[in-house]
Amino acid sequence: MKYNIINNLPIDYEFSAKSKKELKLYEYWFIENKEYRIQELSKAVNSTGKFENWCADFSPSSLDNLGIWLEENIKVIKIPDNEYKDIRLKVPHYIKLNDWDLSIESRSLLVDVGIYIGEVFIHTYPMLRWEQNLSKRRGDNNFGHMVIKMQIDFNPIWLMYILGLKLADHEEDGSCLSKLFKVWRCYYFKKYTPKNVGDVPNCELMK
């Protein structure tokens, strides 16, 4: 069964360069399309052999097999040599620079998975809801994104892009979605206050 990639975004994801009017178009798109995107994700997963019985029931346990499926289905494309050389010249030699990028389909799937994880939180903790981050700090990575308000903003779509890169680079595995849920559940219950970006909590809820 064919997976339909996201092809109707009203704006691109360069949110820091967009007006608030343009950003509201994205919010409207998100609200109108999130259920359809979850249907497309479910269709893609169920069309893959051993995952045909996976159910998008919004339970935390559904993230276990979804993470395994995602690890097996992340695809990359090679960056043309001339483009890579141009980029490499602009980046200090001590910084790792991959000669590949995520495929368009993988980027679309990661957005869909991000939406699904957000909905898992909302179904598990009904006090939560999606909001658009329109803070005055345009340098904020969450600016313009649809986030879930917790102790700090939970931006599953952006986090899934980062995890997608790590999966493609074999720095993460199929347990990444379940781990992500457990980490952010700690934030929700305020069991953990991060001191640095990227800190991982060590709390009972991680068990």
* Mean pLDDT, residues 40-60: 96
| Average pLDDT of span 10-27 | 94
Domain boundaries, the chain: 15-192
Cα separation, 35 vs 186, in Å, equals 27
DSSP string, 146-174: EEE-SSS-B-HHHHHHHHHHHHHTTSS-T
pLDDT of 201 higher than 60: no
**Residue 71 in contact with residue 168, Cβ under 8 Å?**
no
Residue 138: per-residue pLDDT: 66
Per-residue pLDDT of 67-88, as tens digits, reads 999 999 999 999 888 887 777 7
Percent share of the chain, pLDDT over 90: 70
The average confidence (pLDDT) of the chain is 88
Residues 98-109 have pLDDT tens digits of 777 899 999 999
In this prediction, residue 206 carries a pLDDT of 40
Stretch among 26-35, 133-142, 185-194 having the lowest mean pLDDT: 185-194
Q: Are 128 and 150 in contact (CB under 8 A)?
A: yes
Position 150 pLDDT exceeds 70: yes
Question: So what's the pLDDT on residue 155?
Answer: 96
> How far is it, in rounded angstroms, from Cα 112 to Cα 3?
11
CA dihedral sign, ordered 158, 161, 165, 167: positive
Token pair for residue 64? 């276990």
% of the chain with per-residue pLDDT over 70: 90
| pLDDT recorded at residue 1 | 62
Beta strand pairing call for 146-148 and 130-132: antiparallel
